[in-house]
Structure 1
Amino acid sequence: MTPASLQLPRLHLTVGPLQYWWPRQQMMEFYAELAEGPADCLVLGEVCCSRRNEFSHADWLDLARDLQSSGKNVRLATLPLVMSEAELRSVRRITEQTEFSIEAGDTSALQAWSEQAADRRRPLVLGPHLNIYSAAALRETLNEPLRDTPHETVHAGAGISTWVAPLELALDAVALINPVGSSQRVSTEVFGFGRMPLAFSARCFTARHHRLSKDQCEFRCRDDADGLLLRSSEGQAFLALNGISTQSADLQCLIGQAPALRAAGVDRLRLSPCSQGFAEVVRQFDAVLNQGAAAGDALQQLRRLPLPGALLDGYARRQPGMQELEHV
């Protein structure tokens, strides 16, 4: 008998942008391995600190072309916190390229994207940090006139392909915000694995931890392949520092939520990279979501990997975010 999951539409897997600063060779090996794996889409680009310069814009484009030639869909992501003219120029470079879809980290990317000619504008993804927490906010974003001239009125919805839900949203809330059957519905993507980027600040907390200034940080974040772990006074893993980003210490993991994901109308699940075992993480998610494997067996496999934290799914179930994954 064919497993019921094999009779359902594929739940596409997106590899989110790399949140950390890894050596160039490690990054190249990482993406070469993913090119042979089951992920459908890869999001590329610097999404934390513009001072990290291991890859130039041209390098990201070359990598995107290589991954595309391997059959992957590719997006280029913009920064979620733009603080200088130089960073705004980097946003414009990404929105001006005409080869790959764009993931908007903040509203400056929406505006820069709207300024492109209609025949050059690439599909746009609403990233998870745009604060779209309601159906009204999503409709307003899709209907917002980003440019109104005598020659053309550009509405955001004309070209937006996907909404990535904010990380804290429960799956039943996701279903209400972008319901199946809505005339204005776009594809829904949910953060399904990895340390969650919870907040961004103009201050670099990694530099501050090492008693350095942000502009003279010595690039200490290169020493922390999965961020710098913080513990509470009781010794509990609490948060992780990653430059200007504050993350969860433990990892969101929705591998046991396949029925709820489909019921919420989720089309894509985002898996955020970690430094060890990630290719196997992608394989296990694909096995459960699209090949009929048992979620309990896959969860046991994940727990054997050298992951940087425990596995959680509290937010998805309207529970505290630090609540550990229930038995599946």
Structure 2
Amino acid sequence: MQLTLGPLLYYWPKQQVLDFYAQAADWPVASIYLGEVVCARRHELRTADWLALGSELAQSGKQIIYSSQAVLESGSDLSSLRKLAQAGGVLEANDLGAIRIAREAGIAYVAGPHLNIYNGPALDWHINAGATRWVAPLEASANTVAAILSEKTAEIETEIFAHGRLPLAFSARCFTARHFDLSKDACEFKCIEHADGMLLKTREGKEFLRINGIQTQSAACYALINDVAKMQNIDYLRISPQAEYTPEIIDAYSTQINTQQQNADWAQFNPEGLVNGYWHGQAGIQSTQEAL
């Protein structure tokens, strides 16, 4: 089992992004996912910047995978994705349109978590289309993943979203812009003011969701740190970047994988709390004792 660094879900200033990935070159992760996956209006890094960053990180021995947006809305979105695909390597497809681009470029792809793969035949379809790895749906339980793997008929690597605020849904509407009474096309790039998204609470004051542009996330952090030892047939665990403590979180998971021990300060790393309900077939907001 190895770790991967998932795509950056937030909008950070360019220098912050470059500094973050300069550190990532030394982290114990096998693969690093790069690219804009939420909103095409986020232009701190252009396509050429992502490609240059990927080239630099590849020199440190990391496998570089370029991720597509979950909602491809325009011809310019497709054009940018084609440039990433034409650079070679591997593409993470989070939209069916990205699969076609990968096939046109003659490259393999990772079937991303937003492709809704819920049974073996669906996974076999992606394998036949060129997928070499799949990321299980975010709400899939351990039993669901095991059932899918038992039904498939061909070989493929399996990756699980193991730690981070869950990207639950996408919309054509920008929720962050709406919060500031702005239109999506004149959003003033307000996302850049919220390095880990905007926390929403119910009228009763309970933390409910995070809004991140067109993306809705979980308020609490999904964490499978104490489920690692029981995982079967899982090749990769994905750590989703956050503004602080990402290297410490990766170190905790690496230690857990290698020694089945860890002494992480989760109250500091993720003060919003940890949940793992989906993995245990419960409501996502729930957590077992082992997650605390």
For the residue of structure 1 that corresponds to 2:91, the secondary structure is: strand
1:318 corresponds in structure 2 to 281
Aligned alpha-carbon RMSD (Å): 1.5
The answer as to 2:10 corresponding to 1:47 is no
Paired with 2:3 and 2:237, the residues of 1 have a C-alpha distance of 5
| More helix as a share of residues | 2
Q: Which has the larger radius of gyration?
A: 1
Paired with 2:56 and 2:82, the residues of 1 have a C-alpha distance of 23
**1:142 offset after TM fit, Å?**
2.9
1:252 corresponds in structure 2 to 222
More moved, 126-135 vs 210-219: 126-135
2:132 pairs with one of 134, 151, 161: 161
1:292 pairs with one of 259, 265, 272: 259
* Deviations, residues 266-309 of structure 1 (Å, cap 9, x unaligned): 110001011011110000000001x21425x33xx22232x362
Query: Would the aligned equivalents of 2:51 and 2:84 in 1 still touch at CA under 8 Å?
Result: no
Paired with 2:177 and 2:278, the residues of 1 have a C-alpha distance of 30
1:68 corresponds in structure 2 to 58
1:221 corresponds in structure 2 to 191
Aligned CA distance change for structure 1 residues 326 and 292 (closer, same or farther; 3 Å):
same
Query: Would the aligned equivalents of 1:253 and 1:325 in 2 still touch at CA under 8 Å?
Result: no
Task: Give the TM-score taking structure 1 as reference length.
Answer: 0.85
1:8 corresponds in structure 2 to none
Paired with 2:268 and 2:150, the residues of 1 have a C-alpha distance of 36
Aligned CA distance change for structure 1 residues 224 and 308 (closer, same or farther; 3 Å):
farther
The answer as to 2:178 corresponding to 1:208 is yes
Aligned CA distance change for structure 1 residues 251 and 42 (closer, same or farther; 3 Å):
same
Paired with 2:288 and 2:23, the residues of 1 have a C-alpha distance of 28
Paired with 1:83 and 1:63, the residues of 2 have a C-alpha distance of 25
Aligned partner letter, 1:292: T
* Deviations, residues 96-120 of structure 1 (Å, cap 9, x unaligned): 222x21101100011112223xxxx
Segments of structure 1 that go 5 or more residues without pairing to the other structure are 1-10, 144-155
1:141 pairs with one of 126, 130, 135: 126
The answer as to 2:272 corresponding to 1:282 is no
Identity of aligned residues (%): 42
2:80 corresponds in structure 1 to 90
Paired with 1:293 and 1:164, the residues of 2 have a C-alpha distance of 23
1:102 pairs with one of 78, 86, 91: 91
Paired with 1:122 and 1:114, the residues of 2 have a C-alpha distance of 6
Paired with 2:19 and 2:50, the residues of 1 have a C-alpha distance of 14
2:168 pairs with one of 198, 215, 219: 198
The answer as to 2:156 corresponding to 1:186 is yes
Paired with 1:327 and 1:113, the residues of 2 have a C-alpha distance of 40
* Deviations, residues 218-245 of structure 1 (Å, cap 9, x unaligned): 0000010000111111111110000000
Query: Would the aligned equivalents of 1:142 and 1:160 in 2 still touch at CA under 8 Å?
Result: yes
Query: Would the aligned equivalents of 2:11 and 2:192 in 1 still touch at CA under 8 Å?
Result: yes
Query: Would the aligned equivalents of 1:205 and 1:241 in 2 still touch at CA under 8 Å?
Result: yes
